Chains A and B, each alone.
Chain A
Amino acid sequence: MAILLVLFIPRAASDPSFFVQILVYGLANGAIYALIALGYTMVYGIIELINFAHGDVFTLGAFVSLPLIGAFGLTEGQSASLGLYAALLVIAIIVMLILGGVNVLIERIAYRPLRHAPRLAPLITAVGMSFILEGAMYIWRGANNIHYPDFLPAGRISLGGSASIGYKDLIVIALAVVFVVVLTTFINRSKLGKAMRATAQDQDAAQLMGIDINRTIAATFFIGAILAGAGGIIFGLYFNTVRFDLGFQAGLFAFTAAVFGGIGNIQGAAIGGLFIGLVKAYSDGYFTSQLTDVWIFSILILVLVFRPTGLLGMRVPEK
């Protein structure tokens, strides 16, 4: 690791604008990982399940929004106007509601009946659900890369030198920040958020206090899907290409981000997502993209070995 930094610093210093450019790219990319990671961290926090289907819910967000964009009569290249963004917002809300329903349904069918089964059973159904979602999208659109229309403004703001930040990047990062702030406030302030935290701590005790466990867990899945859906649309708008198995890799990275930040912790997941995005961008930019995943997962292992609860996680007493 130290050797890498020694190799890295002089190269970064020799071309600062390249460094800044990659920073921008990494932050935008990381913001999307952060949105997916939030769903992972919430579900894991509440029922201790690695929800393998979550990455595919994210992809589904992009896929479901495509026909809606057509239905609203939006065409690529039309000039940016208030109407366009209002339409996109309506589409996003519809997609979020659909995905929320899908995710609640997944929980109802595949996870809830197994809540008291051996621990690995829901993990296998999660993998099964992931295959089902991927399969459905595969049947729907095939295995090709699908073009996603580009609606975000193309302008860029110069950051000195040859580096610049696009409106696109700014929008993506800003949206992620808004979602994290809203979600944190919701979980810390609202009654449902309180119920979620209580359920995460001790299901039986929460039930004794009159909390409807099933409803609370369903709500968690719903919120997770909303964030994943937003992430899917933002991914489509930012990268302009989607594929049915996109969620697999993105989900794995997002899950890594959630663990990195301390699983169950909202801010941790957001920071983890940004961090993973940055590592990916710098590894791609300065070294070789072949080894990007190796760095990411090595960091994951090192973090877990030296700080098992993640960056912001709390130490839980062992039973």
Chain B
Amino acid sequence: MSTAKRPSQPRLADLTSGWDDRDLVIYRVLLLGAIAFPFFITLVTGGSGGAIINTAADAGVYVLLAIGLNIVVGYAGLLDLGYAAFFAIGAYTVGMLSSGQLYGSPLHHEIHLPFWLLLFVGMFAAAGFGALLGAPTLRLRGDYLAIVTLGFGEIVPRIFRYLGPGSVLGNWTGGVNGIAGIDPPSLPFGISGPWENGAAFGFLPRFDFIDPLAFYVLMVILVVICVIAANNLYRSRLGRAWMAVREDEVAAAATGVNTVAIKLLAFAIGASFSGFAGTYYGAKLSLVSSENFAFVVSVTVLIMVVLGGMGNIPGVILGALGIYYVLFNLLTNLPDLATNAANSIGLGFLNTSKGDWIGLHDEVQRLNFLVFGLILVLVMLLRPQGLLPSRVREQELAKGISEEAVFDLREES
């Protein structure tokens, strides 16, 4: 990491001083890609690419989640199997505080806070719950902590589902149906232009986020903020303390690191990213439901982090985008692709169901689970360190540095 001699750079570079050069290159490519993406899609689809841009904005939610979980798992080395709980807390925060939901609750008042404020409310709510869960449990050793988080991840969505109509405490969360009609984010002013169905340039007194493109832009900005925050956390005193705790907790404590406080911070900060993502998610979808925060979500985000390369943000982002693409695009479109392929090569008879054969479309659809499982196992077997691991970890693995000391002093004394 040669940061010594850099020619004069624009002021923005202060935010990225000291970052890994390889990472910086990847970030620039990613940012350019993110900016070019909507133009490219609009060009290719001839202006009807809204659905694709919408999907890309949704993928950003997972990128945020993966960056946040990376702080907990990748930096501090704490296995969190219930990360979706904090996501749910963020989403339900925006749901309750920015819709008509609380009118039916014992409060009998609707609350409509602006989205921008709620981003921080969601963030702090999630961080608060992270600290609340972490405080009594963080002294547990690695895997026991994982189990506690797993339990927490199972409890939170169920409590949200229970606190609906008919619960002892009254209707706070809409129960099984969740909360609908959440206010979209809005700005006090905006500018209309040819990107909105070819409208003329003009000044808007109020700008509501309805267009997928607006959400996409918002998401890119959120991701950029989070990447800068996470990277600079990593390079801070706190980041070094996380790494010390990850590598050897006893040694870290011996050198004066307050391990409990450090782990608690990792937990709370990691959770705050998730709350951030949850707030955006609730406001974009305009609907939150407890089904969207199941254990599968926690596992999916964990897979993104591990598969992409733990501890390395570019790797984690690529992992998140890759897994999101496979899960929500490739696998969902595979049945149609297979049907078309069969038709085009003269095997169209496969598409009709006959006896036990339920038709190619449905057969391929049933393959989804299997294909995803195979991808996970194969990638992990071929690259156990992840697709794009951090340089430090890569070196460790290449040199075969194991967790065991070659020579253990304790046994000598």
On A, residues with C-beta under 8 Å from B are 44, 48, 50, 109-110, 113-114, 116-118, 120-125, 127-136, 138-139, 142, 252, 255-256, 259, 288, 290-291, 293-294, 297-298, 300-301, 304-305, 308, 318-319
Complex-state Cα separation, A48 to B403, whole angstroms:
15
Contact call A110/B158, Cβ cutoff below 8 A: no
Complex-state Cα separation, A120 to B308, whole angstroms:
12
B403 CB to nearest chain A CB (Å): 9
Complex-state Cα separation, A304 to B375, whole angstroms:
34
Q: Which residues in window 264-319 of B have CB below 8 A to A? A: 295, 299, 302-303, 306-307, 310
Complex-state Cα separation, A304 to B151, whole angstroms:
11
Contact call A290/B380, Cβ cutoff below 8 A: no
The closest CB in chain B to the CB of A291 belongs to B162
Contact call B370/A135, Cβ cutoff below 8 A: yes
Instruction: Kindly supply a per-residue 1/0 record for chain B positions 232-248, scoring 1 wherever the CB is within 8 Å of any chain A CB and 0 otherwise.
Output: 00000000000000000
A234 CB to nearest chain B CB (Å): 25
Instruction: Indicate whether B229 reaches chain A with its CB closer than 8 angstroms.
Output: no
Instruction: Indicate whether B250 reaches chain A with its CB closer than 8 angstroms.
Output: yes
List of A residues within 8 angstroms of B370 by Cβ: 131-132, 135-136, 138-139
List of B residues within 8 angstroms of A121 by Cβ: 306, 380, 384-385
Contact call A298/B381, Cβ cutoff below 8 A: no
Complex-state Cα separation, A300 to B137, whole angstroms:
12
Contact call A252/B154, Cβ cutoff below 8 A: yes
Instruction: Indicate whether B148 reaches chain A with its CB closer than 8 angstroms.
Output: yes
Candidates B152, B367, B371; contact of A297 at CB < 8 Å: B152
Instruction: Indicate whether B372 reaches chain A with its CB closer than 8 angstroms.
Output: yes
List of B residues within 8 angstroms of A113 by Cβ: 381
Contact call A125/B381, Cβ cutoff below 8 A: yes
Instruction: Kindly supply a per-residue 1/0 record for chain B positions 45-79, scoring 1 wherever the CB is within 8 Å of any chain A CB and 0 otherwise.
Output: 00000000000000000000000000001000001
Contact call B154/A304, Cβ cutoff below 8 A: no
Contacts A121-B385, A129-B377, A318-B250 supplied; 19 other A-B pairs, CB < 8 Å: A50-B147, A117-B380, A117-B385, A118-B393, A124-B380, A128-B375, A129-B373, A136-B370, A291-B162, A293-B154, A293-B158, A294-B154, A294-B158, A298-B151, A300-B148, A300-B151, A301-B155, A304-B148, A308-B144
A290-B158 contact, Cβ under 8 Å, with A114-B380, A114-B381, A121-B306? yes
The count of residues in chain B whose C-beta lies closer than 8 Å to any C-beta of chain A is 48
Complex-state Cα separation, A293 to B152, whole angstroms:
11
List of B residues within 8 angstroms of A293 by Cβ: 154-155, 158
A124-B136 contact, Cβ under 8 Å, with A132-B373, A135-B370, A294-B155? no
A8 CB to nearest chain B CB (Å): 15
List of B residues within 8 angstroms of A298 by Cβ: 151, 155
Contact call A297/B137, Cβ cutoff below 8 A: no
List of B residues within 8 angstroms of A50 by Cβ: 143, 146-147
Contact call A142/B310, Cβ cutoff below 8 A: no
Instruction: Indicate whether B369 reaches chain A with its CB closer than 8 angstroms.
Output: yes
The closest CB in chain B to the CB of A120 belongs to B306
Contact call B137/A124, Cβ cutoff below 8 A: no
List of A residues within 8 angstroms of B368 by Cβ: 135
Contact call B381/A110, Cβ cutoff below 8 A: yes
Contact call B367/A128, Cβ cutoff below 8 A: no
Candidates B154, B159, B369, B402; contact of A131 at CB < 8 Å: B369
Instruction: Indicate whether B161 reaches chain A with its CB closer than 8 angstroms.
Output: yes
Complex-state Cα separation, A288 to B306, whole angstroms:
38
Contact call A297/B380, Cβ cutoff below 8 A: no
A48-B143 contact, Cβ under 8 Å, with A121-B384, A129-B373? yes
Complex-state Cα separation, A127 to B250, whole angstroms:
31
Instruction: Indicate whether B228 reaches chain A with its CB closer than 8 angstroms.
Output: no
List of B residues within 8 angstroms of A252 by Cβ: 150, 154, 295
Contact call A138/B366, Cβ cutoff below 8 A: yes
Complex-state Cα separation, A124 to B303, whole angstroms:
6
Instruction: Indicate whether B140 reaches chain A with its CB closer than 8 angstroms.
Output: yes
Complex-state Cα separation, A128 to B384, whole angstroms:
13
Candidates A133, A294, A304; contact of B144 at CB < 8 Å: A304
List of B residues within 8 angstroms of A300 by Cβ: 147-148, 151
Contact call B140/A127, Cβ cutoff below 8 A: no
List of A residues within 8 angstroms of B310 by Cβ: 118, 120
Contact call A304/B140, Cβ cutoff below 8 A: yes
Candidates A114, A131, A135, A138; contact of B384 at CB < 8 Å: A114
List of B residues within 8 angstroms of A138 by Cβ: 366, 369-370
Can you list 20 A-B pairs with a CB-CB distance of less than 8 A? A109-B381, A117-B380, A118-B385, A120-B73, A124-B303, A124-B306, A124-B307, A124-B376, A124-B380, A127-B376, A128-B373, A130-B373, A133-B373, A252-B295, A294-B154, A297-B150, A300-B151, A301-B152, A305-B140, A318-B250
